[in-house]
Amino acid sequence: MTKSASVARQRVLQLRRKASVKESKPRLTESIDLLGDLAQEIADWSYPLLDEEWHCFAGYLPRAVPEELRPRFFDLVREGTEWLQPTGRWGPLPLRTAWMCALPCTCRYRYGGAEVSPLPFTDWMLEIMASCMRLCGLASHEWPNSCNLNLYMDGEHSVGWHADDEALFQGKHQDCRIISLSLGQTRRFELRCGKDFHCLELKDGDLCTMEGLTQKYYRHRVPKVQGPKIGPRINLTWRWIVQHSNPVCMEANFAQAAPAQATHGQQSPWHCSAEPAAQYPGRNFNPDAVAQRKMQQEQQRFATLLANADSEEEATALKERMSEETKVMMADAAKAELQLYTRCARRLERLAIFSGAQGREDSRNLVQLEGLTVLPNEDGSNVLPVSGPSGDGAESSSDICSEDQEPMPDEEVKVGEYLPLEVPAEASYGQNGYRWHAQIVADDFFHKKLCTAPGQLKPCRAMPHIKLSELLERLAQNERGSWILSGELNQWPGLTNLELVSITCKVRSVVATSIKRLWLQNAKQQDAPSDPVAVLTALHGKKLRSLRAVIAGSL
């Protein structure tokens, strides 16, 4: 094509685009559930493009993948993928690519004149998705069902201006979510609609999204870049296929709805009609979704092996192995899902207790906190957490602590041991209810998020704080010999008249950090101090580091 012909072509394209923009003000007037909103409890998304009028949004979550996982994910994708050289209308495209779909979908991906055959989601893909989708506020049954993988080997590799407006995703006609992960070399990602231009420097481990009608009104690209050290970059772009191109997939009877709409009450393509597990009434998530997907992949693998089996015996042995492996896989996936669910449930329980909700046992012997079921752990125990949000990074503004919130080792304080509920009213809470850690701080303690002024604590969670002098003033021994902290702890209405179980502190040496117990209720050792007030008084004026009280309350 000559230069003037190509300019003319661009003009025609521009005019067509303008006309289509003019003719089509957004039809969707209701507000959209942005992924950043869904994930607001656990991830701090910003929206560099937030165009409510045109319903176009692009979200950005820098360094979403933890540093230690980034090289691992990069290598898993790079080594585990059969990279293809796509060919577009005008020759080879300057990048390598692959395309994955969640089985049973086998739609091919056609874009820019290229066409790519699908591969099923691999184990590492599910692992990376588990890490990223959580940060988008998506439960496993809401995950995207396709992923486009791009490998940019150097600065010459790029993607020109385009929209992901293929029919598969219906992004021209309805809200469409696209989640993209960058790994490796930082590259520039540009978005534009006429003069409206946005640019993001996508770094190793960054997540970004395009949501709403962005594919209708905006184009995006990753331009070429010059420089001596432009290393490889991988991009994973997850999307929801909502209109299958392959008749086989259509017959597979999917509910054809993108989760963007699923959140408005429709089912996602991966909705499963299985009943929630009987032992956890009230759970409305689908614990089998991950297992199902993994199983489908495995079934496909075994089907190929079976087809190639040389003898009847080999086929029988394969079938036996398949049934065993399937069971293990199902159990693993269900366990992972349960752990995730339990973490969320625990957060709610903590909140309920902090705010003074009353607990009672229901007819199924499950504890109900104002309608919220306190689920038993897998071992049947009824533990409530005492540490901060466990590794899920789920911190709301008040979920902070002056120090790291590592749980104290179980052997020391038996945090979370099962505390049966039915005991006489006068009994010590220690055997009946929940246990908590409270941070003991110096009287002049100041932390701008935890205090209004030096020595003026605000209510803190997940770890309540208390000043040393206040603890000393309010500790009193009752007739049974239990040490009770009278009144509210850290102004939380639900944490009243708690019983002191132990006092611990962290001891750091050059080699290791350990937990030292300064006082323990009913300690058996001869030389153990019996009076917590004496122990605490001796700490006055000293620098307090990780000094904690374990306290007990009743449900």
Ligand X SMILES: O=C(O)CCC(=O)C(=O)O
Residues 177 and 171: their CA atoms lie apart, in Å, by 8
CB of 240 to ligand X, least distance (A): 14
CB of 169 to Fe ion, least distance (A): 10
Q: Judged by CB, which is closer to ligand X: 152, or 519? A: 152
CB of 145 to ligand X, least distance (A): 16
CB of 171 to ligand X, least distance (A): 11
CB of 48 to ligand X, least distance (A): 14
Q: Judged by CB, which is closer to ligand X: 147, or 440? A: 147
Residues 170 and 149: their CA atoms lie apart, in Å, by 20
Residues 309 and 491: their CA atoms lie apart, in Å, by 69
Q: Judged by CB, which is closer to Fe ion: 187, or 350? A: 187
Q: Judged by CB, which is closer to ligand X: 236, or 383? A: 236
Query: Which of Fe ion, ligand X, none does residue 465 bind to, with CB < 5 to 8 Å depending on kind?
Result: none
Q: How far is CA 528 from the centre of its chain?
A: 44
Q: Is residue 387 a contact partner of residue 405, using CB atoms and an 8 Å limit?
A: yes
> What sign has the CA pseudo-torsion 237, 242, 246, 251?
positive
Region for 112 from its dihedrals, namely left if φ exceeds 0, alpha if ψ lies in -120 to 50, beta otherwise: left
Judged by the rule CB under 6 A, the positions of this chain that interact with ligand X are 148, 150, 159, 164, 180, 189, 202, 220, 222, 235, 237
CB of 74 to Fe ion, least distance (A): 20
Residues 38 and 133: their CA atoms lie apart, in Å, by 11
Query: Which of ligand X, Fe ion, none does residue 401 bind to, with CB < 5 to 8 Å depending on kind?
Result: none
**Position of minimal CB gap to ligand X:** 235
**Position of minimal CB gap to Fe ion:** 164
Secondary structure of 276-294 in HEC code, one letter for each residue: CCCCCCCCCCCCCHHHHHH
Among the listed ranges 23-31, 78-86, 158-166, 417-425, the one in contact with Fe ion (CB under 5 A) is 158-166
Q: Judged by CB, which is closer to Fe ion: 164, or 499? A: 164
Query: Which of Fe ion, ligand X, none does residue 235 bind to, with CB < 5 to 8 Å depending on kind?
Result: ligand X
Closest to 189 in 3D by CA, of 235, 250, 228: 235
Closest to 73 in 3D by CA, of 115, 36, 127: 127
Closest to 86 in 3D by CA, of 143, 162, 13: 162
Residues 238 and 164: their CA atoms lie apart, in Å, by 11
Among the listed ranges 156-164, 242-250, 423-431, 516-524, the one in contact with Fe ion (CB under 5 A) is 156-164
Pairing verdict, β 359-361 and 187-193:
unpaired
Residues 166 and 244: their CA atoms lie apart, in Å, by 11
Q: Which of 33, 51, 142, 164 lies at the binding interface for Fe ion (CB under 5 A)?
A: 164
Q: Judged by CB, which is closer to Fe ion: 164, or 175? A: 164
Q: Judged by CB, which is closer to ligand X: 150, or 286? A: 150
CB of 115 to ligand X, least distance (A): 14
Query: Which of ligand X, Fe ion, none does residue 183 bind to, with CB < 5 to 8 Å depending on kind?
Result: none
Chain residues in the site for Fe ion (CB under 5 A)? 164
